Structures are given as structure tokens and as C-alpha cells.
Chains A and B, each alone.
Chain A
């Protein structure tokens, strides 16, 4: 009897084995996905005063930010199935039918003091759950910035890396005076080009603006005294100091990550060489000594290396040298021209201007492999500068429509011209994160 039972069990076991060819719990491995913009809908914010228009269309500012990043596709307002301003008002099914994954809803309210409260919720449509929710006090002047801060939060919550929307950029504009001479201006604006602020104007060239790591100061080159000189200027107060005004060339300041030093290109000793200027002690130490031109020094993120452009090999190429000095090592080999290096925030890549057969484009130089990946496609692209989160590069482009500021995502997916005032724009530099 027992034997029979065992036998039956055995048969059942065999039978099960036979049928287990049809896996009951199926396992599917998703070994790759797609790289495409993340769908997000920024619903127009509720506004407490129906009589007046809100001072800033916060939803629009955020949408533009996200689109510009290349990582998001923001739904147009006219395509939205509804415009909820609170969580309970969200009809998730309708949004899912449109494939919408993320929703931002919020309210703008003016308080008794005339200031503003911006409250918002970021919602996962498929989970039907809030991902983030904040209330940010703001003022009329700061409302755009508040919107950019919301963009940063969305970016961080959906991409995993802090957004760089509530940052600023610096650039030089060149306009014509009434007499036909050139008018140079050093300007700072929000990262989206809004709220430009002129820091310095001159009839002589202004060049190579560079942000201090804390974002409070700028170093730049000005020819206002006919000869080039390097200045450090406090943005808020406008106070400035001249840090290099030697004979010959004084140019291309680059801040050390700790903000205590500047790397400079000086030709005071003959031909352009790389020096380090210690701000506090106002002392110089020479890094390169070479018959060729060495210029455009920048600091690696860890503060240990300097990258610069040198034509010691015949053509301009990128070299690296330890900050304490030593033998520079060539690191760029693709193309006949690589110049204008800029470390990415993680220092794994260096953005360069790559010249090949007469076309100058923005490329990414992989420090480990030496390979250059070309990001842009125009013929005259210059002055790449990383956003502080490393996801975008701002640069200048000269094409059929003239010279303009442009931004590109580091994966090359989105090129965008930034809306700025008329005139030529030169040498943009993306500022660091500012404390929230």
C-alpha cells in the first residue's frame, strides 16, 4: 500500500517534470531599454487671484526647463485631458491613456505681505502616488528662480541627478556702438537666458569669464587698459581686484576647485606658459616651460591635474599636467585640432573644440580611452562649458543664423539655441550650483 503510494507520487513527479516544460512562473530579462525623453505634464498652477494674471507662468517656465534639458518631453497645455490643482482632482486613467507617466500640479498664492507661496506635487501616474511635494516661499523677483528650483527637484526625482536649472551663466556680448566700434559687455543671466545682468561694459575686449567654485565671483580678462589683465569680481557687490597684468599676455583664468588658486596663461617670461596664481598670497608658480604655446588651463575635479591646450606637437592638442608640475602628457589624438578643454563635473571626460577638415565642433574626450565623441554638427562651435550636473554643455555656435548661445545634452540628443538679446555672444560659462 505504502509502496503504491510512493509509486504514485513518483509518477506525479515525473508528470510534473514533463509538464514543467511550460514554465509556470515566467522569467523575462529586460537587458536593455530605450533612451528617450521622459513624459511629464506640468499642469498650469492654480492661482489665488482670479482677477489678475499671475506674475509668472510657473508651469511654462518649468516645461521649458525640462524640454531644454533633452531628458523630458513636456506635454503641451492644449493636449492635457484635465487641469487638476490638487491630488484628489487627478483622473489617473485619463493621463495613463495618453501614456503620461508623471504629473506636476501646484498652486501659486499671494500672501498678505505681498509675497508668494508656491506649493506643488510631483505625481507618479502609474503608481498613483506622490513622488515629491513642497511649499516654497518666494517673492515676485524670485518667482522664476523658484520655478527653476522646482525644475531641479523634478529632474532629481525623475532622473536621479540634481537639475541645473536654478543656476546662472556668464557670457560676453559684442554689440555695435553708434560710431561703429564694438561694445563689449560681461553679462550674467539665469541658465535659461532670462534676467540678464550686465557686470561690466567696455569698448575693449572682455574675454574668458570663469566662475569661482562658490558662484560668488568671476575671473575674466579685460583689455580695458589696452593690455590684457586678469580680474576677479564679486558679482553681488561689483568689487573687483586685478590679479595679473604682466607684460605680454595675461589670459585664460581657471579656478581651482577649492577657489584658492587661479591657473593662468602668462607670456611674461617669453611665450605663453601655464602658471598657478595663489589668490591669498598673490604668488605665482610656473607649471610649463616650453617653446610652444601652452594656454587655456583648467582644473580637474579632484584638483590634482591641469588640462591645457598646446601646439607643442605641431597642432593644438590637449595635454594634462599635475598641478605641482611635471611632464605634460598629450591626451587628445582625434582630429588635427583639439582645444578649449573643460573637465566634466565627474572629470571622466573633457569637453573640447574638435577641429577636423575645417569644421569645428564640440566633442567629448574620454580621459580613459582618449576617444573623442563629437556632439555637435555645425562648422563653427566654440567655448563648451558643462552644466554643474554634467548633463548639458553650453557653447556658442556660428551658423547661417549668425552667432548664438546653444545648449546640448551630453548624450547629444537635444540641441537648443538659447533666446538672448541681439548681438554676438561669446565664451559662455555655466555657473555652479547655488545653495538652496
Chain B
């Protein structure tokens, strides 16, 4: 790390120096170009004055000579200038060449350095990669271990949960069984109650019908069956002689006994109880 920093600083210094030199060279070249600016701007001005031809021709001749002379001089001067410029240019080019070579050298050095640096960096990188790989491996290993531990823990947890679930299930089952037993017991008890209630009601119905069964004048030894349907509250509907005694009066007395007993006051009004005790359908056998 320390090394790479130093390298980087040095490279910056080189770069800065090169830039300064380049800037100086540029300044110089600019000043030369200022000098070679063409001067013809003053020459083009002409005064429009009328003169005689001979004079003019003379003048013109003189002017022409003069001009040619000027032109020659100018040419000389230009040649000189050109010569000078060429020399200058050569000088500059040499300098430039020299500078380029230096620059090249610098670049090569830099390149070498950079290569070395790169090598080093690569090596370092390799090392780092290796390290990283190693670390990664370790990390992975660690992760795997952790994973393993986690998995084991998970498994344990799962097993525990399963066990717990199983226990809960068993418990629920036990509770359910208990509840079922309780329900069955309750149902049994309810049924026992219903039976008792039914018996009680049947006994009351029987005594009610007995009280209304008038045997006055009836011959002995007869039997008939009367079927009735009850409504909750004990009202009799559909009373019918289902098996005749053969004696019309006996049958009628039996039927009257049942109908006269309606409503059977002991029969519950509550439909649910009424249905449960199954008291809807009754057949009476009259056999005094």
C-alpha cells in the first residue's frame, strides 16, 4: 500500500513537469507567429488625382521601378525571414524531438513502473484473491457449519415441534375421547331422563284415558285398538279405531275415551322435548 502511494505521487510529478515544459514551448511559438504578420494593409490606399499622360507614364515608370525595387527588397527580406524561420523551425524540431525522446523515456519508465506495479498488484490481487478464496472457503465452511448447525437445530426444533404436535394431538384425542365419553354419558343420562319422562307421561295418559273410558253396560271380553297422533301440548289429532272389537258401541266408547281426554295435559308444549320423548304416535288397546 505504501509503495503504490509513492509511485502514484511520482507519476503525478512527472506529469506536472511535462505539462509545464509543453506550456513554455507553446508560449514561444506564439511570439514568432506574431512577427510574420503580413504588412500590406497600408499599401492599398490610392489618391484619385488627374494628371497628364506623359507625366503619368513617367511617373508610372518610376513607380513601377520603385515598386519592383520594393518588391525585390521585400523578397529579400522574406527570404531572410524564411531562412530564419526554417532555422528556427529546425531548432524547435530538434528540441521537440529531444523532448519527445525524453518523454518516451519517461513513458517507458512509467510504463515499466506501471507494469511492475501491475505485476505487483496482480500478485497482490492474486494473493488477495487467494486470501479471499480462502476466506470465502472458510466463510462457506463456516456458513455450511452454521447451516449444518442451523439445520440440526431446525431438525431438532422440527422434531420437538412434531413431538409437541403429536403430544397435542394425543392430548386432543384424549380430550376428545373424554368429551365423547362425557357426551355419551350425557346422552345416556338425557335418554334416561327422556325415558323416565316418557314413562311418566304415558302413565298420566293411561290414567286420563281410564278415567274417560266408560264401561257402563259394556259386555266383558271385548278388545279394540285405537291409534292417535298427538301434537305438542297434547292435542289429539287423527284418532282412529285400527282394530275393531266387532262391537260398535265398545269401539265408540274407546274412541270417545281418547278424544275426551284431549288435550293430554302432561304432554310437553316444547317441540324439541316432544320429539325427543317420541310420544307422537300412541296405540291404545282397550281390553277391560
Please list the residues of chain A having a beta carbon within 8 angstroms of any beta carbon in chain B: 19, 21-38, 71, 96, 99, 101, 124, 126-127, 131, 157-161, 391
A22 touches B191 (CB 8 A): yes
Q: How far is the CB of A72 from chain B (nearest CB, A)?
A: 9
Number of residues of chain B lying within 8 A (CB) of chain A? 41
Q: A30-B206, A34-B210, A159-B249 are in contact. Are A24 and B288 (CB under 8 A)?
A: no
Residue of B217, B249, B276, B283 near A25 (CB, 8 A) is: B283
B110 interface hit (Cβ, 8 Å): no
A21 proximity list for chain B (CB < 8 A): 191, 195
A28 touches B284 (CB 8 A): yes
A38 proximity list for chain B (CB < 8 A): 214, 216
B205 proximity list for chain A (CB < 8 A): 28
For A30, give the chain B residue with the smallest CB separation: B286
B219 interface hit (Cβ, 8 Å): yes
Distance in angstroms between the alpha carbons of A374 and B65 in the assembled complex:
207
B250 proximity list for chain A (CB < 8 A): 160
B257 proximity list for chain A (CB < 8 A): 30, 33
B216 proximity list for chain A (CB < 8 A): 35-38, 71, 159
Residue of B202, B260, B278 near A101 (CB, 8 A) is: B260
Distance in angstroms between the alpha carbons of A28 and B216 in the assembled complex:
21
Q: A22-B278, A127-B255 are in contact. Are A30 and B287 (CB under 8 A)?
A: yes
Distance in angstroms between the alpha carbons of A436 and B194 in the assembled complex:
59
A157 touches B249 (CB 8 A): yes
B247 proximity list for chain A (CB < 8 A): 160
Chain B 195-216 interface 0/1 with A at a Cβ cutoff of 8 Å (1 = within): 1001000100110011111111
For A69, give the chain B residue with the smallest CB separation: B217
Q: How far is the CB of B188 from chain A (nearest CB, A)?
A: 9
Distance in angstroms between the alpha carbons of A22 and B279 in the assembled complex:
9
A23 proximity list for chain B (CB < 8 A): 198, 278
Known: A26-B283, A33-B215, A34-B214. 19 other contacts (CB 8 A): A19-B191, A25-B281, A25-B282, A26-B198, A26-B282, A27-B283, A27-B285, A30-B210, A30-B288, A32-B215, A33-B210, A33-B213, A33-B214, A33-B253, A71-B216, A126-B256, A159-B249, A160-B218, A160-B249
Q: How far is the CB of A114 from chain B (nearest CB, A)?
A: 38
Distance in angstroms between the alpha carbons of A352 and B209 in the assembled complex:
37
A31 touches B288 (CB 8 A): yes
A158 proximity list for chain B (CB < 8 A): 217, 249
B206 proximity list for chain A (CB < 8 A): 28-30
Distance in angstroms between the alpha carbons of A325 and B145 in the assembled complex:
136
Distance in angstroms between the alpha carbons of A21 and B255 in the assembled complex:
28
B198 proximity list for chain A (CB < 8 A): 22-23, 26
B282 proximity list for chain A (CB < 8 A): 25-28
Residue of B195, B279, B285 near A29 (CB, 8 A) is: B285
A36 proximity list for chain B (CB < 8 A): 214, 216
Distance in angstroms between the alpha carbons of A30 and B209 in the assembled complex:
7
A22 touches B194 (CB 8 A): yes
A33 proximity list for chain B (CB < 8 A): 210, 212-215, 253, 257, 286, 288
A19 proximity list for chain B (CB < 8 A): 191
B210 proximity list for chain A (CB < 8 A): 30, 32-34
B252 interface hit (Cβ, 8 Å): yes
A32 proximity list for chain B (CB < 8 A): 210, 213, 215, 288
